Amino acid sequence: MNASLLSDDNPSIGVYTRSIGSGAEWWRVSLSERAFMYRIEHGRDDGSVDIDTVVDQENLDAKLQKWHREGYLSETEREQLAAAPQASADFMADLARASNAFAQSTVRTATSRSTAQVVTIGRIDVPLGTPNPLVPAVNPAWLFTERFNDIVEDIVENRRVMLIGHTGSGKTSLIEQIAARAQYGVLRSNMNGQTTVGDFVGFWTVKGGETVWVDGVLPAAMREGRWLIVDEVDFAEPAILAVLTAVLEPGGRLLLKEKGNDIVEPHPSFRLFATANAVGAMSQFRHLYQGANLMNEAFLDRWRVYLIDYLSPDEEAEVLMRTLAPHLSQTMAHTLAAIAADCRAAFAREDLASAFSTRRLLDWAQLMLRTGDPERAAGPAIYAKVSPEDAALIRSIIRHYIATQA
């Protein structure tokens, strides 16, 4: 035999068996007489050998894959498996126990502070704040779905929450509606525009001949225990991101260098939120949100980032009903929700360049009720906001569902 072949340390060489049936069936891989070729034999249950052939590496790899699918393992693979920690089944069993114990301990914590008044949002008890003019109005039509429970829980735990998703998917209103029900004042600051570090942090100004400091939106929210929503954070200038990073740690304090190194401590009710359209899992849509910046991982890692998708057609029909019943019928609501879903599917296929928001759908439905004419209502609510090509495609989707006069 060729000396170089003897030193071949191909790990695939060995006998492959499986632990089903009699376990007597096997495949054997050995070095062949020819360089870079392997001998394969197949042993049957009855002790006979019915295949004895020579293959190249590529062919061998394909065979190995097939054997693995069928449950054959070599001696070495069996040893490796036995040495490895028990796979995911054990981990999941441990996790189930840990998670139950964790839930028990948090229930205990919740009851021990039961003197505080709470309001239940979804499945989560949220401590009540105090009424003040900055508390948003409750929108009774707003639908809390099961997937929002985790976010509400994060807010109770004082985590920093970033919501990402397409325009009009419900990011800002989710926070506002939680705040409305739990009675916390909300301040919003939009980064896509003229928000300067001065607006955000504060500045000196002259009032009645005196130079006074005016808190920006961040220290104001921190001192007064407001919930601050930093909208479109992916458009924020680097100086603002740097300031934000400082307060992202739980209990993070803000140092106002401009105000003689004044330190702002966060009020216990202070919460910080960000929304973005094109960050992280949404970065594939960056071309739709021109000017959005990539956020670095260190910044993103300081947030719990939730992807807020559009409501399902059934949920959206329910929101339409809650908002516009009794004028709108169930059937009408479902038809409109189906149109929105079709437009979104066309958007996902890149047949449409514009997203179809819940906001747009509600507006169209409202205008339709006033005008009695879906096509006329679609003008200002939809068509005028998109390109002529998009308008034509949306019109054809609408006509598929609603027989309007041409």
- Residues near Mg ion (CB under 5 A) are 172
Q: What are phi and psi of 150, to 5 degrees?
A: -60, -40
Residue 170 contact, options ligand ATP, Mg ion, none, Cβ 5-8 Å cut-off depending on partner type = ligand ATP
Of Mg ion, ligand ATP, none, which one sits near residue 359, judging by CB under 5 to 8 A according to partner kind?
ligand ATP
In the complex with ligand ATP, the residue whose CB is nearer, 279 or 362, is 362
221's contact among ligand ATP, Mg ion, none, with CB below 5 to 8 A by partner kind, is: none
Q: Which of 172/195 has CB closer to Mg ion?
A: 172
CA–CA separation, 236 vs 295, rounded Å? Answer: 10
Number of residues that make up the chain: 406
Q: Are 197 and 218 in contact (CB under 8 A)?
A: no
Q: Find the shortest distance in angstroms from Cβ 139 to ligand ATP.
A: 7
149 sits near ligand ATP (criterion: CB under 6 A): no
Which one, 168 or 202, has the nearer CB to ligand ATP? Answer: 168
277 binds ligand ATP (CB under 6 A): yes
Answer yes or no whether residue 167 interacts with ligand ATP by CB under 6 A. Answer: yes
Interface with ligand ATP, residue 192, by CB under 6 A: no
171 contributes a contact to ligand ATP by CB under 6 A: yes
Nearest approach, Cβ of 185 to Mg ion (angstroms)?
18
- Tell me which residues in 116-145 interact with ligand ATP (CB under 6 A): 141-143
Q: Is 173 in the site for ligand ATP (CB under 6 A)?
A: yes
For the record, the structure tokens of 253 come out as 């304090």
Q: How far is the CB of 352 from Mg ion (least distance, A)?
A: 21
- Out of Mg ion, ligand ATP, none, which partner does residue 17 contact, by CB within 5 to 8 A per kind? none
Cis bond upstream, residue 268 (ω within 30)? no
| By CB under 6 A, residue 354 contacts ligand ATP | no
Which residue from 164, 252, 358, 365 is in contact with ligand ATP, where contact means CB under 6 A? 358
| Residue nearest ligand ATP, CB atom distance | 170
Q: How far is the CB of 309 from ligand ATP (least distance, A)?
A: 10
Q: Out of 319, 321, 352, 378, which residue is the one contacting ligand ATP (CB under 6 A)?
A: 319
The amino acid present at 229, given as its one-letter code, is I
- Contact status, residue 39 vs residue 49, Cβ threshold 8 Å: no
Q: Distance of alpha carbon 333 from its chain centroid, rounded?
A: 27
Binding map of ligand ATP across residues 41-80, x = CB under 6 A, - = no contact: ----------------------------------------
Which residue, 172 or 183, is less far from Mg ion as judged by CB? Answer: 172
Q: How far apart are CA 175 and CA 173, in angstroms?
A: 5
Q: Which one of 129, 136, 170, 374 is in contact with ligand ATP (CB under 6 A)?
A: 170
Q: Is 362 in the site for ligand ATP (CB under 6 A)?
A: yes
Binding string to ligand ATP for residues 257 to 276, with x set by CB under 6 A, is what? ------------------x-
Q: Which is nearer to ligand ATP, 84 or 137 (CB)?
A: 137
Within 13 Å, how many C-alpha atoms sit on residue 271's CB side? 28
**What is the nearest approach in angstroms of ligand ATP to the Cβ of residue 240?**
18
Window of 58-66, 149-157, 166-174, 384-392 that interacts with ligand ATP by CB under 6 A: 166-174
Least distance from C-beta 19 to ligand ATP, angstroms? 51
Contacts to ligand ATP by CB under 6 A: 141-143, 165, 167-173, 275, 277, 311, 319, 358-359, 362
